[in-house]
Amino acid sequence: MKKILLFAVVAFAVVSCYKVDYKDPNAPIEKRVEALLSQMTIEEKVGQMNQFCGVRHVEKRDKKAQADNQDAQGYYPGINADTLRKWTQQGLIGSYLHVLEADEANELQRLAMSSRLGIPLIFGIDAIHGNCLAPNNTAYPTSIGQACSFDTEMAYTIARQCAKEMRAMNMHWTFNPNIDVARDARWGRVGETFGEDTYLVSQMGLAHIKGYQGDMQGGDDVLACIKHCIADSQPVNGANHAPSDISERTLHEVFLPPYEVAIREGLAGSLMTAHNEINGVPCHKSKWLMQDKMRDEYGFTGFVVSDWMDIERIHTLHKAAPSRKEAYYQSIMAGMDMHMHGIHWNEEVVELVKEGRIPESRIDESVRRILTAKFRLGLFENPYCDEVEGEKVRMCEEHRTTALEAARNSIVLLKNDGILPLDVKKYKRVLVTGINADDENIMGDWAAPQKPENVTTILEGLRQVAPQTNFLFVDQGNTPKKMKQENVDKAARLARTVDLNIVVAGETSLRARRGGKTCGENQDRAEIHLYGLQQDLVKKVYASGKPTILVIVAGRPQAVVWEDEHLPAIVCAWEPGMVGGQAVAEILYGKVNPSAKLAITIPRTSGQVQMYYNHKPSHYRYKLQDIPNKPLYPFGYGLSYSTYEYSDLQLSKSEIAANENIEASVTIKNTGARDGVEIAQLYIRDCYSDVTRPVKELKGFERVALKAGESKRISFTLTPEHLRYYNIEMERVVEPGTFKVMVGPSSQDKDLLTAEFEVK
């Protein structure tokens, strides 16, 4: 008995010696996680897997309206804000979203830190192009505009600054980047994406991840979330939430590569599954996606979060589970880690564990991932933000300067018959009209209304850049849904009395304009021409006989066919952010030389959907009878006030082995009279292959600054990874044969120099 007692004492001493206090910041994170996990009840564990809307969000809702539309408003029947505060203090809530003020975040965090174990909350927010869903934060250009800059360094800077503004108000987790590959111009969320090309999306997404997450040592770092997994950007009818029926090959060639890059190279910390079903399986219950592809094949170690109540939709919408509880079971067992959002999760998931259907070890896997993120972000040591100091960071001058430069680089000049840049001496009286001429719509979706002094509209930008010009404004309202014919006619009459007309048309994406939105989340369209009376406005102003310029502010491509045929100049500003009006004016008046190129093809009509540059060889074998097969504006296209000449494309080798690199070099000369930036693009084509390959694929790009008359020689390196594809057995290989290299200013064949090499 004495020997047994002595052994027990020694064993206890050894264990105690190695026991880790999870609150010890010097202990390894893995051990802190396990120490905390071992002390948690099943109720506390399941609570960590649930996210709720913020208490002020809940308090603001009119209960009758919410009860009618619970899904959209985040209304919790029978539950009020005080209930959420109580559950937070009991340690039964792990995360919040729709917390938009720093003092609310600190208030909720204090409640969480006073719980039994003091586990901090992680606050998530849709910081899509800046943390601008919360007021008084910088609104940068939306993602599609950023992609048109082909500037990964700027993308990194925007994400880094966004992370600082988030942490300044105690936000830790952005539901971004959106690495969907957008292949349907009718889809309302094109503006959230980096366009139609897999390689460009991958590189822009990677830059954002690295900018958000930094070294993930706390401080100014936030958790990135790659979304929406997967292929909801090619829905069957162009509508958000609609099914996606896509072959395994297309999934692997087009939609999955950005996720592989984000996980393997970017170490993305979280992942959000998509609203849609993919080939008959709702993404929120797809083990193939969450476990087999993301974790087992790509090595994803972060946590998976659902989109807005989409686990419930496995039951209510997709009818792929007979009950809500069964939907929870299916989703968790397929790999889901966190639920956004709702009151039934805690109760029913705990029941599933106690019934033995879900092993507690499976719950531990999810909680381990969530706790690891919280430790890595330093939330246990620094759970609060300094609200006063945070005001100095948010929308500071440095960040506004970045937003302006990003806007300048995102605006695409689509057409110019020589009228641009504008001559201030020639055009002294200028009419400015259109729904987006003097409005915050320039900020795009996922942006809160700002104080007027924080936003430079296009009209304000014009008056700022050309103060000697007399700008006359005719208001058309702020949405094409409510335009009035009398205002259109008023603009038409005034157009005859001025020297120049500027029509600022497009769509309404601003989130606060619920009844007026035509673009953004859940704002899909059957047609993509200018909405409502806008084309009538353009035609009547043009009929004045005075030069008419069109500026487009929108989050999706606009099929401006008539406008292209008749107007002397068209500028696509996308959604250029809070200081975008200044950038647009600077480009119109030549203070800035435009450089952006299209990250997505602009079709002539929705009847051309799906139209993208990297199509298969037979895609356009026969001509359509009523419209040309060619797009209105192709991928990679964009004009400048300079001209650039490409010459002397050379390859470093004529033959390579399958495991070798090859270098392509080319000379670019600025043959214009202005300094500028040219975006050089490199494409390849596998000339003959086991299965059909695209006619060209982007594999490299570079922004090249050139003074007037200056030449530079640039080079691109093609690696085996650039040449690899899925053969007929769905194996990734570099296939022997001839490859064509194409380098130039756009994806158009006429713009490209070509050379070939052999893979032996």
Token pair in block for residue 308: 């807005």
Distance CA 585, CA 551 (A): 10
pLDDT in tens, 455-468: 999 999 999 999 99
Average pLDDT over residues 189-207: 98
Residue 313 scores a pLDDT above 50 = yes
Average pLDDT over residues 441-468: 96
Among residues 53, 52, 55, 164, the alpha carbon closest in space to that of 107 is found at 55
Of the listed ranges 6-10, 120-124, 523-527, 585-589, the least confidently predicted one is: 6-10
Residues paired with 571 in a beta bridge: 413, 551
> In b/e form, how buried is each residue of 622-643, taking b as 16+ CB within 10 angstroms?
eeeeeeeeebbbbbbbbbbbbe
| pLDDT recorded at residue 70 | 53
Residue 348 scores a pLDDT above 60 = yes
Residue 163 near residue 208 (C-beta atoms within 8 A): no
- Range list of H helices, 474-600: 485-495, 534-542, 561-566, 580-588
Those residues whose C-beta lies under 8 Å from the C-beta of residue 760, and which sit 6 or more positions away, are 655, 656, 657, 658, 736
Residue 639 has what DSSP assignment?
Answer: B
Residue 38 scores a pLDDT above 60 = yes
Mean pLDDT score across all residues of the chain = 94
Average pLDDT over residues 599-621: 92
Residues paired with 95 in a beta bridge: 51, 122
| pLDDT recorded at residue 8 | 42
Residue 750 has what DSSP assignment?
Answer: G
Whole-angstrom Cα Rg for the chain: 27
Distance CA 73, CA 65 (A): 9
pLDDT in tens, 249-303: 999 999 999 999 999 999 999 999 999 999 999 999 999 999 999 999 999 999 9
| pLDDT recorded at residue 218 | 74
Q: How confident is the model at residue 127 (pLDDT cuts 50, 70, 90)?
A: very high
Residue 120 has what DSSP assignment?
Answer: P
Distance CA 302, CA 223 (A): 10
452-461, 605-614, 624-633, range with greatest mean pLDDT: 452-461
Q: How confident is the model at residue 409 (pLDDT cuts 50, 70, 90)?
A: very high
pLDDT-above-90 percentage for the chain? 89
Of the listed ranges 6-10, 146-150, 717-721, the least confidently predicted one is: 6-10
Q: How confident is the model at residue 73 (pLDDT cuts 50, 70, 90)?
A: low
Beta strands 339-340 and 500-506: pairing type? unpaired
DSSP string, 186-239: TSTTGGGS--S-HHHHHHHHHHHHHHHHTTSSSTT--B-EEEEETTTTS-TTS-
Residue 452 preceded by cis peptide, ω within 30: no
Average pLDDT over residues 339-355: 96
Q: Map out the domains of the chain with their CATH numbers.
A: 40-392 (3.20.20.300), 411-608 (3.40.50.1700), 644-759 (2.60.40.10)
Residue 561 scores a pLDDT above 90 = yes
pLDDT in tens, 153-194: 999 999 999 999 999 999 999 999 999 999 999 999 999 999
Longest distance between any two alpha carbons in the chain, whole Å: 108
